[in-house]
């Protein structure tokens, strides 16, 4: 457990040390490229990966840092694009102005594009075998690409003025949010060489954790100020959110039901991993 608790600090040091430099005369591109990453964030996805690695083979933690950063870089690109005027038109993210507010929309689009591809460059540099890196690239591209996160965002934007059923809403958010969270657990399992049945269990657990994360995010949007949340809130008025569909109290009940499911699923895992996950659940879903 101690290695897991220390992993976050090690990750933040690695993130700062990994900032790339560019030979450019652009006035702000180099600063903007790493700005949203260094501004902080929940780091929920890297911590999920560390929860697996530290439980099953903590000696692999140094080798997992490139992979954890790749996931966070891809996630950050999605936030930058999600905040653009053509999508959510948000002013604040991670407690600081969004990139299109600090600089301009073109810079934000291009930084997002660059971070998307930089994630796979990071994976290529991980101190892991080529066969493992190919598996990791496959998982990240599937969960973060056209059959995952991007599909979810397309559904979210297209049906913004429509009312979806609870089943459709779950499909939307499994793609937009949950698949990348599930991939974070599964990629941790790939790093430490877990067998296919355990990888499948991790993926299933991650999809439920991702759903709970999204429900909780909808509740945050409805109940916290922008200052408290570190990002624009009260921004989901026209969106298909769990709060809009179920009401605030029912959304809280639904989140708690999914949380109970997750805790029950954790009973089937190694006690070290279960303890790490319970720490994360307590920290992020008070």
Q: In the chain, how many domains are there?
A: 1
Least confident window among 51-55, 74-78, 88-92, 226-230: 226-230
- Could you tell me the sign of the dihedral formed by the alpha carbons of 40, 61, 270, 272, in that order? negative
Q: In Å, how far are 39, 41, 61, 94, 112 from 230, measured between CA atoms?
A: 11, 9, 29, 5, 20
Q: Tell me the pTM.
A: 0.95
100-137 pLDDT tens trace: 999 999 999 999 999 999 999 999 999 999 999 999 99
Least confident window among 78-92, 161-175, 178-192, 229-243: 229-243
Cβ atoms of 22 and 247 closer than 8 Å: no
Q: Report whether pLDDT(54) > 90.
A: yes
Q: Which two tokens stand for residue 72?
A: 């966070």
How confident is the model at residue 235, as a pLDDT? 64
Choice between 235 and 97, residue whose per-residue pLDDT is larger: 97
- % of residues, the chain, pLDDT over 70: 97
Give the up-direction half-sphere exposure of residue 172: CA atoms within 13 A in the CB hemisphere.
21
Domain that holds residue 167: 2-284
159-200 pLDDT tens trace: 998 999 999 999 999 999 999 999 999 999 999 999 999 999
Write the CATH number for 109: 1.10.600.10
36's CB contacts (< 8 A; 6+ apart) are 76, 79, 80, 93, 94, 96, 99, 111
Long-range CB pairs of 261-270 (<8 Å, 24+ gap) are 261/208, 262/205, 262/208, 262/209, 262/212, 265/201, 265/204, 265/205, 265/208, 266/205, 268/201, 269/201, 269/205, 270/55, 270/56
Tell me the pLDDT of the chain averaged across its residues: 94
How confident is the model at residue 140, as a pLDDT? 98
From the number of C-beta atoms within 10 Å of its C-beta (0-12, 13-18, 19+), residue 202 rates as buried
The b-or-e profile of 21-49 (16+ CB within 10 A means b, else e) is eeeeeeeeeeebbbbbbeeebebbbbbbb
> DSSP secondary-structure letter at 176?
I
Cβ atoms of 62 and 127 closer than 8 Å: yes
Mean pLDDT of 235-251: 85
């Amino acid at each position: 457990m101690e290695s897991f608790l220390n992993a976050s600090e090690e990750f933040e040091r690695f993130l700062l040390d990994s900032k790339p430099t560019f030979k450019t005369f652009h006035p702000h591109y180099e600063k903007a490229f790493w700005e949203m990453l260094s501004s902080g964030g929940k780091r929920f996805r890297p911590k999920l990966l560390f929860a697996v690695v530290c439980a099953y083979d903590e000696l692999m933690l140094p080798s997992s840092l490139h992979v954890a950063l790749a996931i966070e870089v891809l996630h950050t690109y999605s936030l930058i694009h999600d905040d653009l005027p053509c999508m959510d038109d948000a002013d604040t993210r991670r407690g600081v102005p969004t990139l299109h507010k600090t600089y301009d929309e073109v810079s934000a689009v291009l930084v997002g594009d660059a971070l998307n591809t930089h994630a796979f460059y990071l994976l290529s540099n991980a101190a892991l075998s080529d066969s493992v890196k190919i598996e990791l690239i496959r998982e990240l591209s599937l969960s973060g690409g056209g059959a995952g996160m991007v599909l979810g965002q397309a559904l979210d934007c297209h049906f913004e003025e429509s009312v979806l059923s609870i089943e459709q809403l779950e499909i939307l958010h499994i793609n937009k949010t949950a698949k990348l969270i599930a991939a974070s657990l599964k990629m941790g399992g790939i790093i430490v060489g877990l067998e296919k049945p355990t990888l499948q269990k991790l993926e299933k657990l991650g999809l439920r954790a991702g759903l709970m994360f999204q429900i909780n995010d909808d509740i945050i949007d409805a109940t916290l100020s922008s200052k408290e949340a570190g990002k624009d809130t009260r921004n989901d008025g026209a969106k298909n959110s769990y709060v809009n569909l179920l009401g605030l109290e029912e959304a809280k009940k639904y989140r708690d039901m999914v949380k109970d499911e997750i805790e029950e699923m954790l009973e089937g895992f190694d006690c070290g991993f279960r303890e790490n996950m319970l720490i994360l659940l307590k920290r992020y879903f008070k």
